[in-house]
């Protein structure tokens, strides 16, 4: 009965196409709530904005920005802002939808949203970066706010960008609104533990999955794609637990070392120039070889659609921890399941970031800040409770962890939708 969305034509492996197929798989487990499922297949609100800025050389450049609020049945929209040359409305729609599923999976009182600008920030000066951030914030200011939609960092955005966003929004509303974004610097209402929270969540869920598989983390070989906020922190925590990081890939290329890369030396180099600059620490190999590296755990922590059917066929990993959002296409998901490779899906694996963002937001409103131990204890508890419930659901229905996460999350979202009823 519902008309198709006119502004997006997803293909099977596109981010929105991947998301739709993940929702379709959960329908048999929704019972009578299935009548509401269409609500998950379209965003509540999508805003496209023009972001003009004067460049340092005096020219005027225009960029395209987006903010999509996918679903707000359970609370305000929540989700990061990405600066990347390949950002599209379709990608942001999928990322916002995955936030809806994720916040429900860990039972935070939020809906899902996401934003982005189609720009390569590495080509901008600091001055231009500040201008583009401020103009974008002002343009989306009509739909964001501490009680409506709260942005956070994502690919190529960080605490400084959150500080500019907070300041711009605050200037426009005439007061200091710390709760409008999370992932802020500490002295601006940020939270201890936020920078490492996503990587920490990947580690906590990964450690539990390894335990259930009977895999010893000491000596386990790990390949990590994407060595930014999520990938490098997860790698560090696994290395502390005794694992060996045998391959790392970022936008500059791929480095391998079967004895384990020395992270204390790699991370500062990678942060500045990318992993390929760490030539002395390992061998530089063609990017496609990353997927054949002998490993026990694979951590995609870069972009969507990286684990294709072909790569799923050749990986030697027994456990995949989705640090990135949407890294596995549906066909690859099936191949991994058939091959007995366990996948801890993005919507629970990388939920540590939004969980500590929630703590930050709560602390901002109460103006009372917790110490790091308290943050980490609460984070670990929330992640473990969510994962255990998802695992029980997977065992009960004999389904993958991904479909089980969707079953738990969609029940919460659609129950809220049903109880609220349709307005008017």
* Residue ranges that bind ligand NAD, judged by CB under 6 A: 153-156, 198, 225-231, 249-251, 301-303, 323-325, 350, 353
Taking the complex as a whole, the smallest distance from the CB of residue 173 to ligand NAD amounts, in Å, to 25
CA-CA distances (angstroms) from residue 384 to 55, 219, 322, 349?
Answer: 47, 24, 16, 11
Taking the complex as a whole, the smallest distance from the CB of residue 354 to ligand NAD amounts, in Å, to 7
Taking the complex as a whole, the smallest distance from the CB of residue 206 to ligand NAD amounts, in Å, to 14
Given the complex with ligand NAD, which of 71 and 229 has the nearer CB atom?
229
102 marked ligand binding residue: yes
Given the complex with ligand NAD, which of 402 and 417 has the nearer CB atom?
402
123 marked ligand binding residue: no
The residues, any chain, with a CB within 8 Å of residue 195's CB and separated by 6 or more, are 159, 183, 229, 233
Q: Which two tokens stand for residue 249?
A: 């890939």
Pinpoint the alpha helices (H) of 141-292. Answer: 159-173, 194-213, 229-240, 263-273
CA-CA distances (angstroms) from residue 368 to 147, 371, 373, 375, 411?
Answer: 19, 10, 15, 13, 33
The active-site residue out of 41, 44, 114, 123 is 114
Given the complex with ligand NAD, which of 292 and 418 has the nearer CB atom?
292
Given the complex with ligand NAD, which of 36 and 250 has the nearer CB atom?
250
Taking the complex as a whole, the smallest distance from the CB of residue 101 to ligand NAD amounts, in Å, to 12
198 marked ligand binding residue: yes
Nearest to 296 by CA among 314, 315, 322: 315
Taking the complex as a whole, the smallest distance from the CB of residue 322 to ligand NAD amounts, in Å, to 9
Unique residue bearing structure tokens 């450049």: 61
Query: Please, which residues bridge with residue 221 across strands?
Result: 244
DSSP 109: S
- Angle formed at CA 352 by CA 260 and CA 175, multiple of 5 degrees: 130
Whole-angstrom distance, CA of residue 405 vs CA of residue 275: 33
Residue 155, classed as helix, strand or coil, is coil
Taking the complex as a whole, the smallest distance from the CB of residue 152 to ligand NAD amounts, in Å, to 7
Positive or negative, the CA dihedral 68, 74, 75, 78 is: negative
4 marked ligand binding residue: no
DSSP 4: P
Q: Mark 3-13 as b/e (b = at least 16 C-beta within 10 Å).
A: eeeeebebeeb
Q: Which two tokens stand for residue 127?
A: 């001055």
Query: Please, which residues bridge with residue 250 across strands?
Result: 253
Given the complex with ligand NAD, which of 155 and 319 has the nearer CB atom?
155
Q: Is 314 among the catalytic positions?
A: no
138 marked ligand binding residue: no
Unique residue bearing structure tokens 């007995």: 340
Cite the annotated binding site for substrate by residue number.
78, 102, 357
Catalytic residues: 114
Cite the annotated binding site for NAD(+) by residue number.
198, 229
Cite the annotated binding site by residue number.
78, 102, 198, 229, 357
């Amino acid at each position: 009965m519902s008309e198709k969305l006119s502004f997006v034509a997803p293909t099977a492996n596109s981010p929105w196409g991947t998301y739709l197929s993940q929702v379709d798989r959960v329908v048999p487990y929704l019972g009578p709530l299935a009548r509401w499922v269409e609500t998950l297949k379209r965003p509540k609100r999508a805003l496209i904005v023009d972001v003009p800025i004067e460049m340092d050389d005096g020219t005027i450049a225009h960029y395209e920005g987006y903010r999509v609020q996918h679903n707000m049945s359970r609370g305000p929209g929540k989700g990061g802002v990405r600066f990347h040359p390949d950002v599209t409305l379709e990608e942001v729609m999928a990322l916002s939808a995955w936030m809806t599923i994720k916040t429900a999976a860990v039972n935070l009182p939020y809906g899902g949203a996401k934003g982005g600008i189609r720009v390569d920030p590495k080509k901008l000066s600091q001055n231009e970066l500040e201008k583009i951030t401020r103009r974008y914030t002002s343009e989306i200011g009509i739909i964001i706010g501490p009680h409506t939609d709260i942005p956070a960092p994502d690919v190529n955005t960080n605490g400084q960008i959150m500080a500019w966003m907070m300041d711009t929004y605050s200037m426009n509303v005439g007061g200091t609104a710390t709760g409008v974004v999370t992932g802020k610097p500490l002295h601006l209402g940020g939270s201890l533990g936020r920078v490492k929270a996503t990587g920490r969540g990947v580690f906590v869920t990964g450690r539990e999955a390894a335990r259930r598989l009977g895999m010893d983390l000491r000596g386990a070989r790990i390949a990590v794609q994407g060595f930014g906020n999520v990938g490098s922190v997860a790698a560090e925590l696994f290395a502390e637990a005794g694992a060996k990081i045998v391959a790392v890939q970022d936008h500059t290329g791929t480095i391998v070392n079967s004895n384990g890369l020395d992270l204390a030396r790699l991370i500062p180099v990678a942060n500045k120039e990318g992993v390929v600059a760490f030539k002395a620490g390992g061998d530089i190999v063609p990017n496609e070889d990353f997927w054949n590296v002998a490993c026990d755990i694979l951590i995609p922590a870069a972009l969507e659609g990286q684990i294709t059917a072909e790569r799923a066929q050749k990986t030697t990993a027994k456990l995949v921890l989705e640090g990135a959002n949407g890294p596995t296409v549906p066909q690859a998901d099936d191949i991994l399941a058939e091959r007995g490779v366990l996948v801890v899906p993005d919507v629970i694996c990388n939920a540590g970031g939004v969980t500590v963002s929630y703590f930050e937001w709560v602390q901002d409103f109460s103006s009372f800040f917790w110490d790091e131990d308290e943050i980490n204890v609460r984070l670990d508890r929330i992640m473990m409770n969510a994962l255990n419930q998802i695992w029980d659901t997977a065992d009960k229905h004999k389904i993958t962890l991904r479909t089980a996460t969707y079953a738990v999350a969609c029940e919460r979202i659609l129950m809220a939708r049903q109880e609220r009823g349709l307005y008017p």
